[in-house]
Chains A and B, each alone.
Chain A
Amino acid sequence: MTGIVIEGVTRSFGTVRAVDGVDLTVGDGEFFTLLGPSGCGKTTLLRMIAGFCELDGGEIRFGQKRIDRLPAHTRDIGMVFQNYAVFPNLTVAGNVAYGLKARRVAAADLARRVDEALALVQLAGYGERWPHQLSGGQLQRVAIARALVIRPQVLLFDEPLSNLDARLRVSMRAEIRELQKSLGITAIYVTHDQEEAMSVSDRIALMQNGKLEQVGAPAEIYRNPASRFAAEFMGTTNLVEARALGRDGADLVSLRPEALRLDAEAPPGWPRIGGSVVHVEILGPITRFDVRLVDGSLLKVAALDEPHRTLAPGAAVMLAYDPARVTVLP
C-alpha cells in the first residue's frame, strides 16, 4: 500500500498540451478520482502512472520510489480498462491467473487465489467459462478480479463503467468502492461522470485542458467551487451577478437550485427576490422550475415535491435563498 506523488507532470502531443504541469498527492489507501470533460487529459495522466505514456517533464513516485522511468510491467499496478480488455484466448480463470503466473506464484497457491478473487467479484464457479460467454458486467468483474488478484500497490480505473447500462453502472460503482476499501489499495479512478465521481471518491481532482482545476472532497468541490467551470461541471447551478440576488457588487456568483425555495417554504432569515414562473417540470420526487427575475435573469429552482404546491407558468412568485450557499466566483 502506497501513496502516490505526482510532481510537475507534463505531456504534449504535437501542439496539444494533454497534461500540463500537474501536481498531486494521493494518500495511502485513498480512492482518488480524476474528473473532467472528454479530452481534458485524464486518460493521459493515468497512462503515465501505468507506464504506457512517456512524461515530457516532472516525476511520479509511489511512496519514496520514483517509478516514471520504470518499464510498465515492473510497476506493480492493477489496471481496469474501459473496454474490459479481457483476453479472449483465455478462460475466466486463465485471465485471473495471468498476472499470478507472470509472478511465478506456485500452482497450489495460484488456484486458491484465483478462486478467492472470483468469489470477491461474485463470479465464483465461472472459472471455466470463456469470455465470449459472459455479459458486459461479468466481463468487467473479470477485469477487476484480474487486477485485484495480484495485490498491486496501486489500482487504476479508466472509465470502467462507461460501457455498461445505467442501472448496472450504479450498482457496480458501489461494489468497486467497497472492494477498494476492504482491500485498502490506493486507487485512481478516471471518469467524466460527475455523479459517479461524487459517489465513489474520497477526493476528486477536477481537470480541464490538462490542468487541475480544483482538488478536494466531493462535497467540498460541490459546495465551494473555485471557478465557474468547477461550479458548472459539478452540477446544475445558477450563475448570476451578485446584484441580481440583491447583493452588492458585480461579481459572478453560483447558487445551486436546491438553495432556492418558495417564500412560504423558506426560513424567515433568508433574503427574498421576486419573479415569475416560466417553466415547470414535476419529475417525481423533485420539482424543477425556472423563474424570471425582474432584471431579466433566469433562476433554476429545485424543490422536493409538495402535494399542495401549485405552480403554473406566468404566476408571480417570491423566492428565498440560503445566503450561506452563495459562492462568489473569481
Chain B
Amino acid sequence: MTLAIPHQQRMPLAIAALGFLFLGLFLLYPLFNVFSASVLDAEGEKFTFANYVKVLGRPFYRAAVTNTLAIGVAATITTTLISVPFAFALARLPVPGKAAILALAAMPLVLPSFVSAYAIVLLLGRAGIVTQWLNSWGIGFGSIYGAGGIVLVYTLTLYPYVLLPTMAGFKAVDVSVEEAAQSLGSSPRRTLWTVTLPIVIPSILAGGLLVFIETLENFGVPFVLAEDLPIFAVEAFKLFIGETAPNPSSAGVLGVLLILTTAAVLLVQRRYLSARRFATGARAAPPTLQVGPGVRVAAAVYCWTIVLLALVPFFAIVVLSFMEFRGPVLHPNFSLENFAILFDRSTRPLLNTLLFATLAAIGVTLVGVPIAYVVTRMRSTMASVLDVIATLPFAVAGTVLAIGFVVSFNSGWLILTGGPLIMVLAYTVRKVPFAVRSSSAILHQIDPSLEEASISLGRSPLQTFGRILVPLMLGGILSGFVLTWVTVASELSATVVLYSGPWRTLTVVMFQALESGGGGVATAAASTLIVVTLLPIALLYRLVQRYELS
C-alpha cells in the first residue's frame, strides 16, 4: 500500500520532515536537556525547583540578571540615540561619501565584537596606551572595565543594527505623505516630528530589539571587560565549566532564564510590530533636503566620526599586532614576533577556523534554503511550526546551545563531544535562522508560477528546484554563504564550550591568550581574524559588482 500523499506536497513534506529531524535532534533535544538539567535534582531523577531557588537565592546571580538587562537597555538606548540622527542624515541630508559611509558602517556587523573590546582594553585599560599617555599629562578618567566599557563597545559594534533598518525606513516614507502634511500647514520641522518619525518608529524598534538580544547573548565582550561584574552568559559558562557535565543544573538554570528573556522580548516585539504596520507604499523616495552649510558640515562630521570611531579599535588591533609585547606589556617597536609565535606554535587553529567556517556555511545553506522554501511556499500549520522552530536559535545564546550539545552528545547512541563535528553542527544550528530569513526574502520575490511553468513543461519539483529556483536565488545564497562563513569564523560563545584538543580555532587561541595574559599572540590572532573576516566580504563585494554590471 502506498501512502496517500498528494503528489504536489511530496517534496515540501519530505523537506519539512528532514528539517524537523535536523532541528529536533540538534536544537530541540539539546535545549530540552538544558531545561531538564535545570529542573532535576542532583541524581537527575526527581523534578524540583530547588536549582532555581538555589541560583536565584544568591545575590551574585540575581545581580547577573539585573546587570545584563540594565546593560542591554543602556546599549539599546545609546545605539538608538546615535543611529536615528545618523540614519536621517544618510537618508535625507546631503552628506559626502554616502556609499563609503554605508560600506564602512556595515563592517562592525561582521567583525568580532570581542576584538573591539580587547582593543579598548589595550587602548584605554589600566596599562592602556592612551591611558598612560594621558596619565603622563596628569589627566585621568574613569575605568572602562565594567558596565561603562561594555556599553561603549556594544554601542560601537551594534549601532548598524539600528542604523540600517532606520535608514531604510526613512527612505520608504512616501514623499506625498510629507507633502500632504505641509500643504495642511505643518512646518518641515513639525512634519518631521509628527509625520515622518512616527512612520519610522517600527523600523527603529526592530533594530533596537536586535541590539538588545545581541547584548543578552554576547559572551566575548563581557568576558573581556566585565572583570568582577557578573553577566549572564559569562556566569553560565563559568558555572558549566565548574560543574560536572552530566547534570549542569545551575548552568541550566541560567540558560533557561536567558532563553526565556530573549523569547519574551521577541514575543513582545511581534505583538507590537504586528499591530503597527505603517506601510505607506512609497512610490517616490523623499528628496534630499535643502539645508544650510552649517547643517551640512555638522551632518558630515557626525556621520564620519561615528563610522570611523567604530572602526578605530579594529584598526588599532592590527597596528598593535605588529608591535613588541613582553607579556601583556606593550613596547612601541615594530615586530613580526607576535605572528611568528602564533603560527610557530601551530597553524592548526587558522586551518580549523577556515575548515569549520566552510563546513558550517555549507551546512547552513543545505538546511536553511530548503526550509525557507517550505516556509514560503506551503501555507499550513506545519510550515508555520517549522518557521518558528527555525527562528528559535536566534533566541538561544551560543553558550546555552553549546551546553545543551555537551549534555546531549557526550554519551549514549550519538557521541560527538571531543570531535570537530559537534562544533560544525552547533554553528550550523546557530546560523540557520539567518539563512532561512534571507532565502525566504528572495523566495517571496520569485513568482510561484515560474515553478509551475517548469513543472508543466515536464520537470519534476526537485529538478525545478535545482534548475529554476537555485539559479534565481544564487546571488542571495552566495551572500548568505559568505555572511555565515564570516560570522562562524569569529564565533566565540559556543566555541569556548565545545572545542577540544587539536580542534582549537583562532578565537580559542585569542581567548586563551587573553586568559593567560599573552597580549602579543592575542593581537596577532585578532588581526588574522580581521583579515579572515574582511577578505571574503571584499571578494563578495567585487563579485556582486561585476555580476550586476554584466
Residues on A lying within 8 angstroms of B by beta carbon are 50-54, 69-79, 81-83, 85-89, 98-99, 102-103, 143, 146-147, 150, 156
Contacts and interface: CB of A to CB of B under 8 A. Distances in A.
Which of A53, A73, A75, A146 has the most chain B CB atoms inside 10 A of its CB? A73
Contacts of B132: none
Please provide the 4 A-B residue pairs with the shortest distance between their CB atoms, ordered closest to farther.
Answer: A99-B457, A102-B458, A85-B453, A71-B7
B528 interface: no
Nearest to A50: B456
A70 B8 CA distance: 10
A89 B450 CA distance: 11
Contacts of B447: 83, 85
Which of B449, B458, B468, B472 has the most chain A CB atoms inside 10 A of its CB? B458
B461 to A, nearest CB: 7
Contacts of A73: 455-461, 464
A72 B7 contact: yes
Given A88-B472, A89-B468, A79 B452 contact: yes
B457 A150 contact: yes
A231 B457 CA distance: 38
Interface of B: 6-8, 447, 449-450, 452-461, 463-464, 468, 471-472
Given A52-B8, A99-B457, A102-B459, 7 more contacts: A52-B455, A72-B455, A73-B464, A74-B458, A86-B453, A98-B459, A102-B458
A242 B415 CA distance: 87
Contact of A98 (B7, B457, B472): B457
Given A54-B6, A72-B8, A78 B450 contact: no
A50 B472 CA distance: 24
Contacts of A98: 454, 457, 459
A79 B452 CA distance: 9
B7 A51 contact: yes
Contact of B450 (A70, A87, A103): A87
Given A52-B8, A70-B7, A85-B449, A79 B458 contact: no
Which of B453, B459, B460 has the most chain A CB atoms inside 10 A of its CB? B453
A76 B458 CA distance: 7
A150 B447 CA distance: 23
Given A71-B460, A87-B468, A102-B459, A51 B453 contact: no
Nearest to A81: B449
A79 B456 contact: yes
Nearest to B472: A89
Contact of A72 (B450, B456, B468, B471): B456
A267 to B, nearest CB: 53
Contacts of A50: 452, 456
Given A73-B458, A102-B459, A85 B8 contact: no
A73 B458 CA distance: 4
Contacts of B472: 88-89
Contacts of B459: 73, 98, 102
Given A81-B449, A89-B468, A102 B457 contact: yes
A67 to B, nearest CB: 11
